[in-house]
Copies of this chain bind each other. A is one copy, B any other.
Amino acid sequence: MLYSKFFIPTLRENPQGAECVSHRFLLRGGYLYMMLSGIYAYLPLGLKVLKKVSDIVRRHMNDKGAIELVTSYLQPLEIWEKTGRDSELGEVMIKVKDRKGRDLCLGPTNEEQITEVVSHYVTSYKQLPLILYQIQTKFRDETRPRYGLMRSCEFVMKDAYSFDENEDGLEESYRKMLDAYSKIFKECGLDFIVVEADPGVMGGSISHEFMAPAEIGEDILFYCSNCNLYFRDISRCKKCGMPLKEKRTIEIGHVFKLGDKYSKSLEATFLDRSNQRKYFIMGCYGIGVSRIISAVIEQNHDNKGIIWPSSLAPFEVDLIIVDIDNQSLFAQGLELEGILQDLGLTVLVDDRPEQVGVKFNDAYLIGSPYILILGKKYLQDKKYELEVRATKEKFNFNKEELINFFKNVN
């Protein structure tokens, strides 16, 4: 992709209202545009990252046999009244009345809706177990939206729902999701921990949270640096007895054993093996897809910009052509783009008629894991300068060495 043919409107100054590192770099790097506080448009780079996260989530969910669908954005308020969650969520839920006078809301989550769908079609234990999921924008009227994608009024969530015959089935579905979640966060390059948590407004018996340690985190855990263990609300380590330190974390995923809470309220039943009517035993499993983007940046940056893991980078290589008026250099840049693409890499070719300093600043800000420079050293010795953002290593490679390097990292 040529930079000049793409749309990456980076900003030189820190934008007003940017409240933390990830928010600042997402706005400055041309990833997001703020429509209103808590409401963002994904600019082309931001959309690329969102798609990469979504694809990782999708692949691991499919691997566990979960099946993708997508529910409507507008939901009848009626189903929320049945579970009593309309009043529990209160003003967080965005409600509208349509011209026919129907009471609707914009989905803040989808337990009610999915239970209705499953209850409509699934009548027998033979159709179970079933795990359905979607990757969809949700809406919450936050009192205080902040930190960009961390706490916004519109956000992208992966929400999954399992339906089983009994508690043993739920246990198996739950284990599958726990395993998928670990794989997803690992592949996204996140440092994270899993803690048992309070089910809260979701109801049900057991829940686990996936937490990414970060300064801006809004959840406080207690950490034993001795045993490298986290606890929710005690003052001393259960293992070694040492006092604990407060540590802030970002909630990136949350899984719940719901049991029959929702199926009971919504009268969602099936016929079991002995032809008895039974309530579905449910679990629900959420991942903050857009929030992952913020969490990854909070954990992976320096003072110049984002340092993406390859798995999420909008472009893995930022190829800077120092002098675009030099035709042989320009031609070499395009040839190199082709070679790297054949190795499976995505390449942003900075072909703008800008000072090289501007190009470097943007490359650091945008955060491709590899910066490749085609300039003086190429003209003199046919050498390619490569900078690895994460390790700060610099190499001067000939073409063969460069290709071998990328063959080995991929």
By a beta-carbon cutoff of 8 Å, the part of chain A in contact with chain B is: 5-7, 9, 30, 33, 35-36, 39-44, 46-47, 50, 65, 67-76, 91, 94-96, 98-99, 102, 104, 106, 113, 116-117, 120-122, 130, 132, 137, 139, 141, 143, 153-154
Q: Report yes or no: B69 in contact with A42, Cβ–Cβ below 8 A.
A: yes
Chain B residues positioned under 8 Å from A99 (CB to CB): 91, 141, 143
Q: Which of B67, B74, B121 contacts A154 (CB 8 A)?
A: B74
- Nearest B residue to A122 via CB reads B9
Known: A5-B65, A41-B117, A44-B69. 12 other contacts (CB 8 A): A9-B122, A35-B71, A36-B72, A36-B102, A39-B74, A40-B72, A42-B70, A42-B71, A74-B153, A91-B99, A94-B98, A106-B106
Q: Which residues of B contact A9 (CB under 8 A)?
A: 120-122
Taken together, the copies of this chain in the complex come to: 2
How many angstroms between the C-alpha atoms of A7 and B163 in the bound complex? Answer: 13
In-complex Cβ contact of A33 among B6, B68, B120 (8 A): B120
Residue pairs across A and B with Cβ atoms less than 8 A apart, 20 shown, are A9-B121, A35-B72, A35-B74, A35-B75, A36-B74, A36-B104, A39-B72, A39-B74, A41-B117, A42-B70, A43-B117, A44-B69, A46-B69, A47-B68, A47-B70, A72-B154, A73-B139, A74-B153, A91-B99, A98-B153
Q: Which residues of B contact A132 (CB under 8 A)?
A: 7
Question: Which one, B35, B36, B74, B121, contacts A139 given CB within 8 A?
Answer: B74
Chain B, Cβ-Cβ closest to A74: B39
Once bound together, how far apart are the Cα atoms of A47 and B58, in whole Å?
A: 13
Residues of B within 8 A of A33 (CB): 117, 120-121
Most buried by B among A6, A74, A141: A74
What residues of B have a CB within 8 angstroms of the CB of A47 in the complex? 68-70
Q: Which residues of chain B come closer than 8 Å to A73, judged between CB atoms? A: 73, 137, 139, 154
